Amino acid sequence: MRDVFIDLGAERLIAAEKDAFKIAVEVKSFIADSPLAALEQAVGQYVVYHDVMEATGTDRTLFLAVPEFASAGILSEPIGELLVARHRIPIMVFDPDREEVVSWKR
């Protein structure tokens, strides 16, 4: 198996616990030339990280953290809803200004 090196850039992968669950959170800024390009990148990275974590037997559930504007925007559009549902992506919505979690969608 090829080693996976994660270039986190402005985003980050966080290991944490929510209630009694162990989670990993991939934080995406959704700042790109277009909302669709940001969605493509976020879903693609989520799928790669999820599959690698599953193959290595991690006991963490991977969440995709998105800012409120992305949740209310591209993720609420049919294409966003389709991809989130199809890939069963748990979403953590955050307020980037207050740096607070707004909601969890599992």
Give the pLDDT confidence score for residue 9 in this predicted structure.
34
Task: Return per-residue pLDDT of the chain as tens, 106 residues.
Answer: 455 444 333 344 555 556 667 888 888 999 889 999 999 999 999 999 999 889 988 888 889 999 999 999 999 999 999 999 999 999 999 998 998 889 988 8
What CATH number should be reported for the domain holding residue 65? 3.40.1350.10
- Contact status, residue 65 vs residue 102, Cβ threshold 8 Å: no
Helix-helix angle 35-55:78-86, to 10 degrees: 0
**Would 1 be classed as within a structural domain?**
no
**Would 5 be classed as within a structural domain?**
no
**Would 6 be classed as within a structural domain?**
no
**Would 3 be classed as within a structural domain?**
no
**Would 61 be classed as within a structural domain?**
yes
**Would 52 be classed as within a structural domain?**
yes
pTM recorded for the entire structure: 0.81
Give the chain's domain count. 1
**Would 2 be classed as within a structural domain?**
no
Give the domain extent around 90: 12-105
Buried b vs exposed e over 66-91: b needs ≥16 C-beta within 10 Å?
bbeebbebbbeeeebeebbeeeebbb
